Amino acid sequence: MMRECLENVRKSVPLVHNITNYVTVNDVANVILACGGSPIMSDEAEDVEDITSVCGGLNINIGTLHKTSIEGMFRAGRKAGELGHPILLDPVGAGASALRTDTALGLMKELKLTAIRGNISEIKTLAMGSGTTKGVDADVADAVTEETLDEAVEFVKRFASTAGCIIAVTGAIDLVSDGEKCYVIRNGRPEMGKITGTGCQLSGMMAAYLTANPQDSLEAAAAAVCVMGLAGEIGWSRMQEGDGNSTYRNRIIDAIYNMTGNELEKGAVYELR
């Protein structure tokens, strides 16, 4: 199944419209190309509807919000909704500022999101802010570890169910749920956190996977998470003495570029709960 998700991206070359932050945008574009998609970036409110109309999916990332691009996010999202395109939201920094939290919650409320991908802290912020959690849920730990796994799976499932979209929480252990099933993924390496934007890169790739696999959104989202983690492992295995986070960034993108369906099937480490 993951193999097919990967191969569908390479076969269909999904065109992904990205409204994303200027910190990691170049890497996001190169990752989308590496996995087999094609990226277009546009955030100007007067430009986004035309651009989203020629694309197949939309990736919204609030990493460096501007008042003007917020309008672009809503306009693009509404148009993508009309066209039935998958929409992914990456709520970067939700919880760190009111503007980010409010914008993410507003996008959740107004748009037909297909998936939200963030770290546990960002996802908790959205769960609490949107009133979709109660009691015990809000107490989920701030890191997903073997010790906190059970409650985290429960939290993610419940939030996915009430939010009505796929929730992907990435960290030491990654969780991807549609409210019924939850992928628990153990690919990746801690050193990926020393590269800026591996999360943004994953969101861009996940948008491409969702676009190319409209009938299997949950599997597509999980496959993208496995590709990113596995690329982190393969990239690390190619590191040489003296290499650091800049070379590691290149090696991860290179590994995504070269990854085959076979490699993914063999390397993906996950269980379904």
Interface residue with its own copies among 94, 156, 205, 253 (CB under 8 A) is 253
Rule CB under 8 A: is residue 194 a binding residue for its own copies?
Answer: yes
Instruction: Pick the binder of its own copies from 5, 6, 16, 24 (CB under 8 A).
Output: 24
Burial of 144 (0-12, 13-18, 19+ CB in 10 A): buried
| Cβ pair 86, 207 in contact under 8 A | yes
Q: Please report whether residue 258 would count as binding its own copies according to CB under 8 A.
A: yes
Residue from 61, 218, 249, 268 in contact with its own copies (CB under 8 A)? 249
Q: 């990239």: which residue's tokens?
A: 235
User: Does residue 165 belong to the site contacting its own copies (CB under 8 A)?
Assistant: no
Return the number of the residue (171 or 179) whose C-beta is nearest its own copies: 171
Identify the residue among 10, 181, 238, 273 touching its own copies (CB under 8 A): 238
244 binding its own copies? (CB under 8 A): yes
Give the integer Cα–Cα distance in Å for 90 and 199: 8
Contact 127, 179 (CB under 8 A): no
Q: How many residues bind its own copies (CB under 8 A)?
A: 56
CB 145 within 8 A of CB 101: no
Q: Given candidates 34, 76, 115, 230, which one binds its own copies under the rule CB under 8 A? A: 34
Question: Checking phi first, is residue 250 left (phi over 0); if not, alpha (psi -120 to 50) or beta?
Answer: alpha
**Closest CB to its own copies among 46 and 147?**
46
